[in-house]
Amino acid sequence: MVHARTFSFTDDSTSVQYPSAQSTPQGTTTPITGPHSLDTALLLFQLRTAQSNWYQELFQSSRDPLQNPSKYIWQVCQDMREWSESFPDSLPLAFKDFFDLELLYSYVYCLAPSCRVASVSNYGKILIFEYSIAYMQKIFPISRDPINVVFYTYHDALRVYFVGSQFLAVLSENQDQLLNPITPYPPIMANSPPPPPLPAKTSLDNIDRSTNCITHIKETLKTFGYRWEDSQALLSSFEMQAAPLLISLKQRKQLQWEGTSSLHLPAHISPY
């Protein structure tokens, strides 16, 4: 998906059965010992199958507008959320972090504009905004931790760039809506699964959260650039895209500060 190419686990050329947890490799003459559980691999196969299904539907199958797109996307998100709730308690933290990032990235990807869903719903825009921030809050410290270098590749730099691009696009076009501190109630549709829940927020206002998210994207791409030279080009591209939005956020913060300051002045003193 990160390369925007055909990706299918379901067509005739790639459809295979899940490996059996009880199976052993052919030709093995001695028992396998040690921590060789297939639980983690099976979880990854399940996610890749789900990703393949919605990616093929939204980006590869057709360009005809999807009928009732919110219903389809809500169902996709619910299926992936149920997958994430199936993690066994024994799942190592490193794998859980890896899967959590995959889930957040998948949310942003399937909610974003696609070949069959050109226009994102208002609540979908809020979800892209919130899940992008949640994704960066998780991967930013991971990118700076030398212990985590094994699981992460240049594809993660591409994922960060994609999430960052979606964040910039949705925020640049919907600042009044997304920077509003009041979050609207999620829409309820008959005979449809509920929309994805919003992730937990910090106490910061949305202007500060947005600025921090952009900073985390830049710093993460910079850190990845030490390992993969192509990530430096991603950083340069993102910085150019983000510059106008950062100026706008700074202006909004200044106006917010001036408005707050005027509320604390005595009535007979003008703030100007």
pLDDT category of residue 22 using cuts at 50, 70 and 90:
low
Does residue 33 carry a pLDDT above 50? no
**pTM strictly above 0.85:** yes
Residue 246: its pLDDT value, please? Answer: 97
The answer to whether 78 and 131 are in contact (CB under 8 A) is no
Residue 196: its pLDDT value, please? Answer: 87
Residue 146: its pLDDT value, please? Answer: 79
Does residue 36 carry a pLDDT above 60? no
Sign of CA dihedral 191, 103, 2, 121: positive
Does residue 247 carry a pLDDT above 90? yes
The answer to whether 173 and 240 are in contact (CB under 8 A) is no
φ, ψ dihedrals at 126, nearest 5°: -65, -40
CB atoms within 10 A of CB 182: 4
Identify the helix (H) or strand (E) that includes residue 111: helix 93-111
Q: What is the DSSP letter of 269?
A: S
C-alpha torsion angle, residues 210, 213, 214, 216 (rounded to 10)? 160
d(CA 265, CA 210) in angstroms, rounded, equals 29
